[in-house]
Structure 1
């Protein structure tokens, strides 16, 4: 049994405090000595028992399940916007968050309210505390996932688009049986949990492919990874479509006065045919992700759902850019992006070059210690003119910025700056840039989110003049 208070918490702060007392893999150190204990967090039997204790509310909701190493949040966002554009009530569950935990649970683009979050979490934790002791205590992620599934059922959504947390096979979200399973690009990540090779990582992601449920996947960097998906799909008799192989898909980069540089895609699937669809997010990688979204739509239409082309593309165009080359400040120009692996960072820098004009690129960078650090630093050096290394506040996984700087010098020999917190790193960059320069804050959603929160606080506060630099972030 956990230490769940018998007295109902009534405020959001109390709800957050109750969650913070639970094991949270996202913010826990993940060194070799820590991993064995953290692996106990991945117990799908416990999550199934919790959902059964809550009455299995997820079984009443049609879902789309998305896994992958990069782009899965973008695919979820585009899918939810597309479905909402067609008139459906749509729940969206993603992680991590940028601003606040409630951001992870949305209906029709609106965060779950503080009152509903508090009320549903209380009921979820009450059910969790009555589970057999042998199952162990529910984790932070399991409780929030259960909250989302309960909330979506109670809001009577038509669809819920669900992003996995880590992997897929043992992920807490894998209690659902979706209408479609989708897998984005696979990269090296979480090797201490998912395996040392891309094929082993892919096997965990493939765990969301269910018996008889259609699956759509992006083409992968290695055919051996795609073969993992094919073998899994064949084993569970799930129809599998690889974008651009099982359907016709093409993309191109063009420019217009209204949109500037942007990508358009053409798609022809089993029943869906669309031409010249404008990709709502910037970058070639997002055009590929859009192809996966259209493949999801094609499968839903084949199953009988009504997705007329005009409202579908209008819904796509309304996709929020949160944390995806999102411009969060104009003077100085500051862009945040949650790129957190080498390939994502390369794609982000490539997209910046295609879509934004600037003289020098200043990058405020911080990442988790368990990431592919050398690969990220090498990708960073390919586009950054100046770098300020930092770390997210209160995150045990954050790598020491001094160590990042030391390794950066060893790898690429370029000059750099180090600041212990995101606020000071942004102030450093803001003081030193020229008018035509650009600041990119990236390396993790934690760092990008902290920058966005700081700037939001600045906008909300009365104009505070910071002597010597109006672009600085106030203390």
Structure 2
């Protein structure tokens, strides 16, 4: 079978209409990356706002649809796999993208937020978007952005980023794009797509002030990406969340598969001389047989995400041709910044973007499995819109010492407020530092060579840690 015949029928049709807007000559508003990025960051950014209203006009998808229409609806020109969930979206999306890329497809990947650079969010075949490409996309988008602003309906930062991603994938003639939701799902800017397949990762409590105070409410927002007749693959969920997902899938007439229930899935933890501590998984369907695959990312939670990525790959076999051996090679190449990443060896410092209670619990368990240490100091910061008490409650089960600090996010909780809540929850002593640098200095003064410093709680904090500590380590 030739490469051209491997594409879906919808992909072939879309390719014929690509590139029409990209060839239109437009006035260059931005000639430098600095000016372009300044313009972008001046747009309303709900990722940084302390308070916002989610279920009203703030998140109406009509504005997103207008923005896309202004550049010839690029989201309709690439086949899409859409992924929602509370934790594991980025890991699942990345693993699936690498397996498809290894099958010689041109694969777009859109994830958020980023760890150190905005460019991480928009990727084609593992290569991040370049400065000049961002400039070009913003020049093409500028007129539509300003037109909507004149109508008192200015697009947000995330809406613009999402539109740029769709434009970029169309420009690059991507065969398929793996798109992660930003917030929730039902009203998320990415939910304008008509996907080939939907994936839903683990759902837990997060963003209660926006998505709801109960698991069923949050699950309803996540399940909002399920479209009529589009297959859905998910992982084992809390019963309250699973009921919502099943109800939505039934209403949409969407086939639903659950790993471990409808898809034969198992995992085991082991250690070897070659790979050290790691998890292996098996997944079997009528069309696929993956046996004893090593999960490329550490932690049992990543085994669940890897199983979901494999089950989604299997589901795509009805649409496109997949070679399992190539997929396995692609999976082995996966690595991700900010996921149990060691950024310094002396002292040992590990960073992880865990930003809800379930993720903190999974992180502590994974560190216990994969990283030997005598004692662990956790440097922690988080944002106000998180399940703060839930996260603090989990910290006590893994930290020998906690230092609370704050990231550079406008929504960051003050360190003393975190300390007061932590002491109230568990009665343990802790320390505070107003900056990450100060927190690291305190931690370094208290550790020996066999100890571990873990920096976690938010993408913002991990990004700062990589910027501050990796550079200094390399310089020394």
TM-score for the superposition, normalised by structure 1: 0.92
Q: Give the secondary-structure state (helix, strand or coil) at the position aligned to 1:130.
A: helix
Q: 2:311 aligns with which of 295, 306, 329?
A: 295
CA distance in 2, matches of 1:239, 1:41: 32
Structure 2 residue aligned with 1:445: 459
Residues 1:171 and 2:192 are matched in the alignment: no
Q: State the 1:326 CA deviation.
A: 0.9
The 5 Å alignment of 1:64-79 reads 64-79=81-96
Q: CA deviation at 1:21?
A: 1.5
CA deviation after TM superposition for structure 1 residue 38, in Å:
9.1
Match of 2:438 in 1: 424
Partner of 1:16: 37
Aligned to 1:358: 373
**Aligned-residue offset at 1:133:** 5.2
Aligned runs of 1:250-269 on 2, under 5 Å? 250-269=266-285
Match for residue 471 of structure 2? 457
Residues in 1 aligned to 2:253 and 2:30: alpha-carbon distance in whole angstroms: 46
Does residue 373 (structure 1) correspond to residue 388 (structure 2)? The answer is: yes
- Following TM superposition, by how much is the alpha carbon of 1:272 offset from its aligned partner in structure 2, in angstroms? 1.4
Instruction: List structure 1 runs of 4+ shifted beyond 4 angstroms.
Output: 132-135
SS of 1:25's equivalent in the other structure is coil
Residue deviations 1:134-175, cap 9 Å, x none?
571100000001011100110111121111000101100011
Are the counterparts in 2 of residues 125 and 143 from structure 1 also a CA contact under 8 Å? no
SS at match of 2:80: strand
* Equivalent residue pairs, number: 450
Residue 455 of structure 1 deviates from its aligned partner by: 2.0
Query: Is the Cα contact below 8 Å between 1:366 and 1:447 reproduced in 2?
Result: yes
Equivalent-residue separation in structure 1 for 2:62 and 2:474 (angstroms): 45
Shift of 1:457: 2.7
Aligned residue for 1:329?
344
Deviates more, 1:200-209 or 1:423-432: 423-432
Q: 2:149 & 2:344 partners in 1: Cα distance? A: 50
Give unpaired runs (5+ residues) of structure 2: 1-26
Q: Determine the C-alpha separation between the residues in 1 that align with 2:56 and 2:343.
A: 37
SS at match of 1:319: coil
CA–CA separation in structure 2 for the residues paired with 1:317 and 1:76:
15
The equivalent position to 2:335 in structure 1, one of 315, 320, 340, is 320
Which of 202, 217, 230 is the aligned partner of 2:219? 202
1:236 matched to which residue of 2?
Answer: 252
1:410 is aligned to: 424
After superposition, what is the alpha-carbon deviation per residue over 1:191-217, rounded to whole angstroms, capped at 9, x for unaligned? Answer: 222112111111111111111111111
> Considering only aligned residues, what root-mean-square deviation do their CA atoms show, in Å?
1.6
In structure 2, what is the equivalent of residue 136 of structure 1?
153
Deviates more, 1:88-97 or 1:37-46: 37-46
* Cα distance, 1:106–1:7 mapped onto 2, change above 3 Å: closer
Is the CA contact 2:404–2:416 (under 8 Å) kept in the aligned structure 1?
yes
2:297 corresponds to: 281
**TM-score of the superposition, structure 2-length normalised?**
0.92
Secondary structure of the residue aligned to 2:237 is coil
Matches within 5 A, 1:22-101: 22-30=43-51, 35-36=52-53, 40-101=57-118
